[in-house]
Chains A and B, each alone.
Chain A
Amino acid sequence: MEITLCIESSALPYGVVLATTDGICYDSTLHEELAEIKDVAQLTRIALDASGLPASAIRRIIVNQGPGGTSSIRTGVAFANSLGYSLKVPVFPVNAFELMGFAAEMQWNCPAIVTVKSIKQQAYIGWFAAGRLRATHYGLPEAIIPDLIGDLPTLAVAGAHRESIKRLFPKKEIHDTNMKFGRASDMPRMEAIWSTRATMYPSFVIPLTEQSSLFENPQP
């Protein structure tokens, strides 16, 4: 059996999902007793054992590369990189904007603003529409989001600033996903986004931060 391991470690509960071509066979977030475990390796071992699978059954790894809680994202990425290296299987990064934007668009069938908290009131901001990430910014949400949204009458919001975005635009139709963080269980069906990003050593995944090139040249 060929297994896809999906890792989302930006916040508790960490999500570890095992999936086959038939669908998800294990999702750690459905197990309340695992909600406080801050150990991706332990969750992966639990998932494999519960599914009766060896680690060698893993054929690919999908991991959230952030942005997000810096140490927790690094935890998932470091584990994914070294497991991919040791098993000689590809690691596919998806970012937090894609992870939440994809779920928002699936839920509400409209473009989505996704935000992730940073320091000093700053935020990572992503604009997801028609199946892919269209723009990314780093800065103050109230300064950036009005230009991103423009005259668009309807949108969805996901991430850390959902309430403040709704307050900022009282006349727009804004759908709240109630998602603060991404879900590992969405990763398998995001193949159109991650499938071209196979990363094999000597390449490996680097967590996204405010210094990443994604935030160097804001797209229009």
Chain B
Amino acid sequence: MKPYILGIESSCDDTAIAIVDEQGQVYASVVSSQATIHNQFGGVFPELAGRAHVASILPAVDQAMATAGITPQDLEAIAVTRGPGLIGSLLVGLNTAAGLGMGWNVPVIGINHLRGHLRSADLEEKRVEYPALLLLVSGGHTFLAHLQDEATIQLLGSTRDDSVGEAFDKVGRMLNLGYPGGPAIDKAAREGKDVIPFPRPMLHEGLEFSFSGLKSAVARYLDAEPSPVVANVAASFVAAAMDILITKCRKALKKYPVRSLVIVGGVAANSQLREHAAALCRKQGVKLCLPPTKWSTDNGAMIALAAWDYIRTGQMIPPQPTLQLSVSDY
């Protein structure tokens, strides 16, 4: 077995490359952000994302290999996100991986982006104790899953409409706070008060989520209110979103006794989610596993670490784009 895997993540608007060993140690991680490109649109513009990936992916690969100080002969595999994601963005990563694999004579494995996220909690340090509950909260996904171990996953409930990250981005745009909305809303919310009674859709309906109604309620409030206090709107929106997420986690922990609660995805960087989750886990006697913020958002290291699981379980998935994947899929 060779010591390293090169991970390539290009499913959305970040071009991310990393070199990771089997224990999750990260030898290089390069993330080329497209935030400045998409900021003017208040969200990801898929065609421009694809164009930007072509311009940034080879320099990122070259930088990662140089930073890690390794040669292609040191690579056990090249791991690349095969989905879910934007097709134009996925294709750049997949075809780049295929070209590198052919030229270097290294196998290429297609990785489920969601499995990458759930492994991000173990990057650089083993944090997760199994069995565990996973809450993935990002711009593309919101779901709860039960993890018996690294590879045995059962989906418990997901969003029926918008992801929570998408709601943050859209509300951020309504409040003219820029893109991505998460950090800006988090900051504004800290300066405001939860005084607007926004709804908590599906709060008491199983482990499914819904954020479209909350987002629409914010839009209706802003339409009706001539002089809204932005900080108060942000604080009230965040309070509602956090109430939904934490309530679902509490329900899941009650139904599925586990040793740890893992929260990953871009919204895991939200300071209020971290505080509320910590309080919940203290109360429930469960370990809270939060990766550092840099591993919460899309990155190549999580894809590389997930690939070691694929190799261990013999899942040599070809690098073909697959837009619809459940977290239990390889």
> In the complex, which of the residues A41, A70, A84, A86 contacts B50, with contact meaning CB atoms closer than 8 Å?
A70
Complex contact B72–A77 (CB within 8 A): no
Complex contact A71–B57 (CB within 8 A): no
Complex contact B91–A75 (CB within 8 A): yes
- Report chain B residues within 8 Å CB of A85: 58, 61-62, 99-100, 103
Known interface pairs A74-B50, A85-B103; A41-B98 also in contact (CB < 8 Å) = yes
- Report chain A residues within 8 Å CB of B320: 39
Q: Give the residues from 79 to 120 in chain B that come closer than 8 angstroms, CB to CB, to chain A.
A: 87-88, 91-92, 95-105
A39, B82: Cα distance in complex, Å: 13
Known interface pairs A71-B88, A74-B88; A81-B50 also in contact (CB < 8 Å) = no
Known interface pairs A78-B96, A79-B98, A80-B99; A86-B72 also in contact (CB < 8 Å) = yes
Q: Hey, what's the 0/1 contact readout for A71-103 against B, CB within 8 Å counting as 1?
A: 100111111111111110000000000000000
B-side interface mostly: helix
Could you tell me the distance in whole angstroms from the C-beta of A178 to the nearest C-beta in chain B?
Answer: 29
A77, B57: Cα distance in complex, Å: 12
Could you tell me the distance in whole angstroms from the C-beta of B319 to the nearest C-beta in chain A?
Answer: 8
Instruction: Tell me which of A15-23, A26-34, A131-139, A201-209 binds B.
Output: A201-209
A175, B235: Cα distance in complex, Å: 67
- Report chain B residues within 8 Å CB of A71: 50, 87-88, 91
> In the complex, which of the residues A86, A202, A206 contacts B54, with contact meaning CB atoms closer than 8 Å?
A206
The reply on A197 being an interface residue by CB < 8 A is no
Complex contact B88–A82 (CB within 8 A): no
Candidate in B57, B59, B97, B100 with the most chain A CB atoms within 10 angstroms: B100
Could you tell me the distance in whole angstroms from the C-beta of A14 to the nearest C-beta in chain B?
Answer: 12
Complex contact B62–A202 (CB within 8 A): yes
- Report chain B residues within 8 Å CB of A204: 58
Complex contact A83–B54 (CB within 8 A): no
- Report chain A residues within 8 Å CB of B50: 70-71, 74
A112, B51: Cα distance in complex, Å: 29
The reply on A116 being an interface residue by CB < 8 A is no
> In the complex, which of the residues B87, B95, B102 contacts A45, with contact meaning CB atoms closer than 8 Å?
B102
24 chain-A/chain-B pairs, Cβ below 8 angstroms: A39-B98, A41-B99, A44-B102, A55-B105, A70-B51, A71-B50, A74-B51, A74-B88, A76-B95, A78-B53, A79-B95, A82-B57, A82-B58, A82-B96, A82-B99, A82-B103, A83-B99, A85-B61, A86-B100, A86-B104, A87-B103, A201-B62, A202-B59, A207-B51
**Residues of A bordering B, CB below 8 Å:** 39-41, 44-45, 55, 70-71, 74-87, 201-202, 204, 206-207, 209
Closest 10 CB pairs of A and B: A86-B103, A82-B99, A41-B98, A83-B99, A78-B95, A79-B95, A87-B103, A82-B96, A79-B99, A71-B88
